[in-house]
Amino acid sequence: SPEEIIEKYGADTARLFILFAAPPERELDWSDAGVEGSYRFLNRVYRLVYDFVEKYPVVPATFEVKTEADKSLNYMLNAVIKKVSEDVGGRFSFNTAISSIMELVNEMYKYKETEAPDAGLFGKAVKELIIILSPFTPHICEEMWEHIGQTQSLATMAWPEYDEDALIKDTVEIVVQINGKVKEKLQVANNLDKESLEKIALKNEKVQVLIEGKTV
């Protein structure tokens, strides 16, 4: 029951499990594994934030998106802010919003292990992660918010805005189909026209072997 979860794991785990386990219009399917998973996730976020503060006691106010790792984190951060904003504010789809936040946390763990993480970008991600997670788990988020050096209550903070430009990837993945079956996947520059895409696909060695002697 929720009361048992609160007693053992705390109110935030109970809230997260209930909101993540099912959309509002469906009945809640009880799952001990789901409760444990929610608890582990919150501990993961907690460790991420505290490790960040320990490594970067002073966070630059600005940053530049330079490396591929920077671009990947910046894209994910803005994409998740957009999705959570739409899921919570428009569709009341709390479970999918939480799922996207989990993806962001995974990306942040990957980013912190890269060769040269940008402290300013990472700090922005940490700050905005706490804000977008706070409607679901307010108590732990308020504590983490204070720990990163914020003096005003988290409840008074404005909701983060996403950058549309950050959602445009420099490269995109396209699939090459032959007779309706996917035969190859290619990374190409974003916004190429149809003719350019066709030329790239037809020059691919694997594709050339498959269409040899045939009319495209």
Does residue 1 have a pLDDT over 70?
Answer: no
Residue located via tokens 């951060």: 77
Q: Helix H segments across the chain?
A: 2-9, 11-21, 32-55, 68-86, 94-112, 119-133, 138-147, 194-203, 205-211
Q: Dump pLDDT digits (tens) for 114-157.
A: 999 999 999 999 999 999 999 999 999 999 999 999 999 999 99
Q: Dump pLDDT digits (tens) for 82-94.
A: 999 999 987 788 9
Reported in sequence order, the residue ranges of the chain that DSSP labels E, i.e. its strands, are 171-178, 181-189
DSSP 161: P
Would you state the structure tokens that stand for residue 87, as one six-digit string? Answer: 């899921």
Mean pLDDT check: name the lowest of 11-20, 103-112, 164-173, 201-210: 164-173
Q: Find the largest Cα–Cα distance for the chain.
A: 70
- pTM comes to 0.79
DSSP 58: S
